[in-house]
Structure 1
Amino acid sequence: MILVTGATGTVGREVVGRLPAGSAVRVMTRDPARAPDSVAAEVVRGDYDDPRSLARAVQGVRAVFLVTNRVGSDDDARFVEAARSAGVRHVVKLSAAAVADPLAQDLITCWQRGNEALLRGSGMEWTLLRPRAFMSNTLSWAPAIRSEQVVRALYGSSPTACVDPRDIAEVAVRALTEGGHAGRAHTLTGPEPITAAEQTAQLAELLGRPLRFEEAEVAQMRAALRARHPDTVTEALLESAERRREGGKSEVEGAVREILGRPAGSFRAWAADHLSAFSAG
């Protein structure tokens, strides 16, 4: 049995859809009504704050895809304890590329470092997936693109080797179903570094209409982020953006090609497949 947590999220949903036909799959979600319905999977309600629900979710499970996102929480500790007690053999953990950057000391990165250390010391087999920023993060631009034909972002000329979430999911499936991944950390990037201004230009070409890139002010971005995140997370995201401005997120890694036997997906290809989200109607 394979358990997928975060199955309603960007990567978890893709993992569920890519697991081999006939696999015994269980999906854990706080809201079973939102679980993917495209494949045959057992759906269980699970909450990191509810140890009993975690114990039920991991019962009889061999391997887990683990996603946690409440920064600063003990969600990983609670889950790892439940998994270890249930005899889970292998945990594939979604982490972050910044963990390997000694200059990245923001709250989110430090939290993920602690989560990785917890898993490595758990006694279970582990695989760490460390993706760079998701290409799908640009979906946050969609409302302004549709209404104003504009993209506003920080440090528009600073590149990042962002990655297609579908590539992350494919690597996760390999780690869950094949040997050779235990005890390894895979840093996952796209095929090339790309700036927000370049992404804007590519979206304009694909949409067939002009788009304008506007460099956002830090104060402007802070206000926008605070509308969606706690202040501590907002400041961590701004620190992360500074690392991008300093060039800390531009390095391309070869893990996607090595594991999947093909090049990592480009931003242009991802955008072409999601163009309807940016279209006016």
Structure 2
Amino acid sequence: MILVTGATGIVGRGVVKLLLEAGEEVTAVTRSPQAAGLPEGAKAVSRTTDLAGVDAILIAPRAVGESTGELLAAAVAQGVKRAVLLSAITVEYGGGYERFAAAFKDAEKAVRESGLEWTFLRCADFAANNLAWAPQIRAAGAVRGAYGDAATSSIHERDVAEVAVRALLDPAHARRAYALTGPESLSQHDKVRLIGEALGTELTFTEVAPEQVRAAMLAQGVPEDVPDRMLGYLATCAERPGPSTDTVERVLGRPALTYARWAADHASDFGVRS
């Protein structure tokens, strides 16, 4: 059995789906089990320290929060073998506000010292972060954003989910820290253009002050730390591009999915194709 925390998150939901397709038993931890909308076959719970029969756990630090230590202690006591941690590429390469990287470093340290076999997935910025542009694109066919020239190799959430499943099921990935990125470095201008191509229309990107972007995100109800995470990292990548690695291809045996593929997969989130 596999325990997935953050099961309704952008990566967790994909992990649950892939594990079920592989014939695994899945316990999915989510704040609202009744409204989770998880695939049939997943056992949705709001909280668990009953890990009897669990072989491996996926830990999403932002979902688990201060309960990470409690979860790890319960896992060790009840015979769990492996822990796969969703971490951040800033742990290895730097960038953004140090306090966010420090939190991931602390989570890695806790998992490493727990005694469980561990795998760290140090993810680049998720392409899915750009879903924050959807209201603007639907309303005006344009994006107003900061740091338009900031270049990152954003990763498709499907690639992270597939690597996570490999690490959860195969002990050969133990004691590995994987730096996961998309296959190409793209500016925000490039990303808006590719979303437009997926929609069959031309979109524009207009540079505005970071403070305006932050205020707009907060007005949408986004948690306060999210714009700080995104804008802090973009500020760094405006000075030097974020890293690109071939790790996804080495682990999965196929190239990482492109941003264009991500945009096509999420076209319905941004608008109707022409």
Q: TM-score, normalised by structure 1?
A: 0.89
Kept in 2, the 8 Å contact 1:3–1:27? The answer is: yes
- Which amino acid in 1 is paired with 2:85? K
Q: CA deviation at 1:23?
A: 1.3
Cα deviation code 1:101-134 (max 9, x no counterpart): 2465522111111110111111111100011011
Distance 1:105 1:91, change over 3 A: same
Q: CA deviation at 1:242?
A: 1.7
Q: CA deviation at 1:248?
A: 4.9
Once residues 229 and 264 of structure 2 are traced to their aligned partners in structure 1, the CA distance between those partners, rounded to angstroms, is 31
Instruction: Confirm or deny that 1:81 pairs with 2:73.
Output: yes
- Which amino acid in 2 is paired with 1:16? V
Instruction: Confirm or deny that 1:238 pairs with 2:239.
Output: no
Instruction: Confirm or deny that 1:64 pairs with 2:64.
Output: no
Q: CA deviation at 1:219?
A: 1.7
Kept in 2, the 8 Å contact 1:133–1:161? The answer is: yes
Name the residue aligned to 1:2: 2
Name the residue aligned to 1:11: 11
Name the residue aligned to 2:24: 23
Q: CA deviation at 1:84?
A: 1.9
Q: Where do residues 161-176 of structure 1 align in structure 2 (5 Å cutoff)?
A: 161-176=153-168
Kept in 2, the 8 Å contact 1:13–1:36? The answer is: no
- Which amino acid in 2 is paired with 1:8? T
- Which amino acid in 1 is paired with 2:223? H
Identify unmatched segments of 5+ residues in structure 2.
Answer: none
Name the residue aligned to 1:112: 104
Name the residue aligned to 1:258: 250
Identify unmatched segments of 5+ residues in structure 1.
Answer: 47-53
Once residues 210 and 43 of structure 2 are traced to their aligned partners in structure 1, the CA distance between those partners, rounded to angstroms, is 45
Instruction: Say which is worse superposed, 196-205 or 8-17, in terms of deviation.
Output: 196-205
Q: Where do residues 133-212 of structure 1 align in structure 2 (5 Å cutoff)?
A: 133-212=125-204
Once residues 94 and 128 of structure 2 are traced to their aligned partners in structure 1, the CA distance between those partners, rounded to angstroms, is 26
Once residues 253 and 226 of structure 2 are traced to their aligned partners in structure 1, the CA distance between those partners, rounded to angstroms, is 36
SS in 2 for 1:13: helix
RMSD in angstroms over aligned alpha carbons?
2.0
SS in 2 for 1:10: coil
SS in 1 for 2:45: strand
Once residues 7 and 57 of structure 2 are traced to their aligned partners in structure 1, the CA distance between those partners, rounded to angstroms, is 11
Name the residue aligned to 2:36: 35
Instruction: Say which is worse superposed, 14-23 or 156-165, in terms of deviation.
Output: 14-23
Instruction: Confirm or deny that 1:55 pairs with 2:49.
Output: yes
Kept in 2, the 8 Å contact 1:151–1:211? The answer is: yes
Name the residue aligned to 2:270: 278
Kept in 2, the 8 Å contact 1:2–1:25? The answer is: yes
Cα deviation code 1:153-209 (max 9, x no counterpart): 221112101000000000001001113111101111111011110111112222222
Instruction: Say which is worse superposed, 94-103 or 6-15, in terms of deviation.
Output: 94-103
Distance 1:13 1:60, change over 3 A: same
Distance 1:278 1:191, change over 3 A: same
Kept in 2, the 8 Å contact 1:106–1:240? The answer is: no
Once residues 193 and 111 of structure 1 are traced to their aligned partners in structure 2, the CA distance between those partners, rounded to angstroms, is 26
Q: TM-score, normalised by structure 2?
A: 0.91
Once residues 179 and 149 of structure 1 are traced to their aligned partners in structure 2, the CA distance between those partners, rounded to angstroms, is 47
Instruction: Say which is worse superposed, 207-216 or 184-193, in terms of deviation.
Output: 207-216
Once residues 70 and 276 of structure 1 are traced to their aligned partners in structure 2, the CA distance between those partners, rounded to angstroms, is 27
Kept in 1, the 8 Å contact 2:54–2:80? The answer is: yes
Kept in 1, the 8 Å contact 2:15–2:165? The answer is: yes
Kept in 1, the 8 Å contact 2:13–2:38? The answer is: no
Kept in 1, the 8 Å contact 2:156–2:259? The answer is: yes
Once residues 67 and 176 of structure 1 are traced to their aligned partners in structure 2, the CA distance between those partners, rounded to angstroms, is 13
Q: CA deviation at 1:274?
A: 1.2
